[in-house]
Structure 1
Amino acid sequence: MFKHNAIWQHQRSLLGWSQAKYMLALSGLCFSSSLWANTFLSYENTLNKVTAYQQQANTFATQQQIGEARVKQSALWANPNLSISQTGFGSNQDRELDISVSQEIDIFGKRRALKQLSQLEQSQLEITQKIYQVEIELAVEYLWSQVALQQEELKLSQNQLATSQATIDATKLRYRAGSISKLDDDRAMVTHIENQRKTQQIELALTIAKKQLANLWGESASNFTVNFNQTIWPSDTAQFIETSKNNNLYQQNLALLQQQQHAQADYFKVANRPNPTVSLGMTRNQSAGVNGSDNQLMLGVEVPLNIFNRNQYSQQIISAKQTLLDQQKRFYQLQHGVQLETLLSEITGLKQQYDLMNDRQIPLSEEVYQKTLLGFKVGKYSITDVQQASVQLQEQRLNKIQLLKQAWQKSFEAKSLALGVDVNVIRSPDAIMQINQKLWQSTQEISTTVGVE
């Protein structure tokens, strides 16, 4: 028994040394080719780099200028009208010249109501800016997490590659000793080559993910490594949702729409009231054959008669919209809470599976593989047993990374839902470009006229 334990410890130390040499060689290659160890990038550093780069467009300042100009435009008085008319042009005709200036007098607060609408439109621009900031932050975090997940997947793939290398080393010894066939040796080599290919595939995916992340701050370099502060599991999801309860931008947008509809209703009420138009002018009369003229001051008031069009149907439209908006708010709040609860439950279930696999299943499978490999070296087990243990370990490592990816996907769904933004935009490879294009388009679509359309 003591002899068997001694052999087991010796073989295990040799296996560990073999894996250590292999991992050291891999790390040396990575270091020499890309200098990963020299540049570590946290999420905060990444977000700062992206924000500084994206601010070069200066779109927010433009929107602010447009909003302020619209508020000032809404407070302007209506332009006066100048009227000139004359009758009689011959020297033998009586002539009458009328010159007057008319001005509409806003006595019911139409300009004030219009200014209120413009101020609410400026508040809409502020919400648009908040949505932009939130979408940028989530999009950066998503691409940053994809790099981190690819790094973790590469690490697991390298571990599996070291496992297959240990199998190859043991197979070569058995083959040279004549205890297994050349076919068994070739089968082990085929498996090892496939692991090499998968590792290269993951390395390529990692490089592409890094370049996509670097594109966000105007570069294409991939010589950096993202690092987590604590754990690769998205453990901050529940806390993020709790702190975002009062920051749901979709609900803020609905509340602002309600204010705009109330302001529109007030505007239509005052717009329906007849503002008088005051005219001030002079009338000059000159009789035919008379050198002198008679000048008279003219003062008039014109009041529109709102008999047929009193904006009565516009009021009905606004009332119907307000009722629908109230129903929409209640429905969204109900669905919002239920969906968040479902997503958090799903993340909790994935975490339980991940802990079970990471803490118990994979360590046990690694131990089973090492014992099987040791038994194979001493002739107790066949190469099929070793390959079966290796495949089982590989499947569990792949399942581990898949659980991580699922958890991060659900985490971003929950965060996007909590903040009231579209998760499909966040998870798009060109998310930043889409977000910028949407912002630029919305800026260009701001109306140059002020009023209720």
Structure 2
Amino acid sequence: MFRYFSLFILLAAPLCSATSTAAGLSLFDATQRVLAKNPQTALSNALEAAASGRVVQAGALPNPELSYVLEDFSGDTNRSASDATTTFSLSQQFSLPGKRSARQTLAEGEQALATLDSQAQRLRLIRLTRERYIDAIAAQEKLAASQQNLQLARQTLDVVSARVSAGKVSPIEQSRATVALKSAQRELALQQQWRQLAQRRLAALWGEAKLTESLLDELVLPPTLSELETTNSKTPILQLADSRVQKEQAALRLAQAERVSDFTLMAGMKREAGSREESLLVGVSIPIPLFNRNQGAVLSAKANIAAAEADQALLNQEWRTQRDQLETQRAASFQEAAYLRDDVLRLAREIAEATREGYQAGKFSLLDLLDAQRSLIESQSLYLAARLSFHQSDAALNELLGLAMSAGNTL
């Protein structure tokens, strides 16, 4: 089973995929390959970079404006442009204290959201890779079981045919054994298709059409059910909800600060036509907040805070419910798999073998033999389903808790 460590390993995932050995592909190597090649990684990185750019832009000051005006030339004055009244001015827009810092805080909140969303998406890719990897392993195990069942069906048919030839049983039993063989052949063909599909779904995560390597890990059940411990901080999923509230609070502070309009200071020089006298110009421009006091933006920001807080409470509630459900499912699947492995499956094998020997000795009928074999196949199928359910719930729980896998671990 997996051992997990801090989220730092997830964030420090290499930018290039790990090189698998010629022997095959481990789950860890597959996960590193997905993190490097899946388009979701490029999308998350681009969104983080865009958010970083908005932080830089939020701290930028407005550019000054240079103005040049010509007056009293041409027309009735008959003056040329060189004799006209000229005015040069330089103006700069200023904001009251708090606006620029509010814009920066809002942009930083959006950047934090992008970073947390990127972490959540990487955790989702890890879970998805593990789910498809164990699906491929399960399909491979089902195929191996189908091959064994086909071999067993052939052996059974040989035994029945020998007993029919010896006149010990009715020829109808040979027909029944033949039907069982045909059923095993059909099941084998079906499992071959399912294995191919499962491998293609896994390879599609890193953009390939099919899987060219064998899978190294096996779908084993751990000796004991270990408890999964969360990190000290909240998981990225819960942090996202907290960060949304903080971002909306920053948006409210910015909306409130923008109720006071910016003002513009101007300084320049004016040269009069004719006399060529020069004079200094100083001015200030302040919008009058008569109609627009940014009241709509303030109301919208307050409503967005209420919505974010409600979403935060809802997400926390759903998170706890889902955690309890996954923990229960994980424990139940482990207990069922352990019971099937230690008791049911062992007993089913003993019964099938004893019935087969008893049939050869003439102590049991063919129906008894087929029923014992069918019980063994069903027990194997139930054991595989329980192991699959355990690993699926374990993968989902690790995503929910914000855990990542470490190198060198196997299933």
Shorter-chain TM range is 0.7 to 0.9
2:220 is aligned, of 224, 232, 245, to 232
Contact 2:157 2:178 in 1 (8 A): yes
CA 376–91 in structure 1, closer or farther in 2 if over 3 Å, else same:
closer
Letter in 2 for 1:393: L
CA 80–321 in structure 1, closer or farther in 2 if over 3 Å, else same:
same
Q: Distance between the aligned counterparts of 1:92 and 1:105, measured in 2?
A: 41
2:94 is aligned to 105
CA 257–52 in structure 1, closer or farther in 2 if over 3 Å, else same:
closer
Contact 1:234 1:407 in 2 (8 A): no
1:441 is aligned to none
Q: How does 1:44-59 map to 2 (within 5 A)?
A: 44-54=28-38
Contact 1:281 1:297 in 2 (8 A): yes
1:213 is aligned, of 175, 198, 202, to 202
Structure 1: state its 5+ residue gaps: 1-36, 421-453
2:263 is aligned, of 252, 276, 279, to 276
Letter in 2 for 1:76: A
What TM-score does the superposition give when structure 2 sets the normalisation length?
0.80
Letter in 1 for 2:320: G
1:165 is aligned, of 154, 167, 179, to 154
How much does 1:285 deviate?
3.3
How much does 1:136 deviate?
1.9
Q: How does 1:127-166 map to 2 (within 5 A)?
A: 127-166=116-155
Residues 63-110 of structure 1, C-alpha deviation per residue, up to 9 Å, x if partnerless? 454344333322222233325252464337997544433221234242
The count of corresponding residues between Structure 1 and Structure 2 is 377
1:320 and 2:307 are equivalent in the alignment? no
Letter in 1 for 2:138: L
Hey, which of these two has a bigger chunk of helix by percent? 1
Q: Distance between the aligned counterparts of 1:273 and 1:416, measured in 2?
A: 46
1:301 is aligned, of 260, 284, 293, to 284
2:387 is aligned to 404
**Matched residue SS, 1:113:** helix
2:50 is aligned to 66
**Matched residue SS, 1:226:** coil
Q: Distance between the aligned counterparts of 2:240 and 2:40, measured in 1?
A: 27
Q: How does 1:237-252 map to 2 (within 5 A)?
A: 239-240=227-228, 242-243=229-230, 246-252=233-239
Letter in 1 for 2:214: F
Q: Distance between the aligned counterparts of 1:53 and 1:342, measured in 2?
A: 32
1:351 and 2:334 are equivalent in the alignment? yes
2:367 is aligned, of 384, 391, 401, to 384
Letter in 2 for 1:91: T
2:69 is aligned, of 76, 79, 84, to 84
Contact 2:93 2:264 in 1 (8 A): yes
Q: Distance between the aligned counterparts of 1:167 and 1:402, measured in 2?
A: 27
CA 67–318 in structure 1, closer or farther in 2 if over 3 Å, else same:
closer
Contact 2:241 2:315 in 1 (8 A): no
Q: Distance between the aligned counterparts of 1:405 and 1:346, measured in 2?
A: 12
Q: Distance between the aligned counterparts of 2:40 and 2:110, measured in 1?
A: 25
1:261 is aligned to 248
Contact 2:139 2:191 in 1 (8 A): yes
Contact 2:129 2:202 in 1 (8 A): yes
Residues 252-291 of structure 1, C-alpha deviation per residue, up to 9 Å, x if partnerless? 11222122112212212222223321121233334xxxx5
CA 357–120 in structure 1, closer or farther in 2 if over 3 Å, else same:
same
Contact 1:87 1:96 in 2 (8 A): yes
Structure 2: state its 5+ residue gaps: 1-20, 404-411
1:179 and 2:168 are equivalent in the alignment? yes
**Matched residue SS, 1:263:** helix
Percent identity (aligned): 22
Q: Distance between the aligned counterparts of 2:55 and 2:332, measured in 1?
A: 52
Contact 1:148 1:226 in 2 (8 A): no
2:112 is aligned to 123
**Matched residue SS, 1:342:** helix
How much does 1:185 deviate?
0.7
What TM-score does the superposition give when structure 1 sets the normalisation length?
0.73
CA 65–306 in structure 1, closer or farther in 2 if over 3 Å, else same:
same
Letter in 1 for 2:28: E
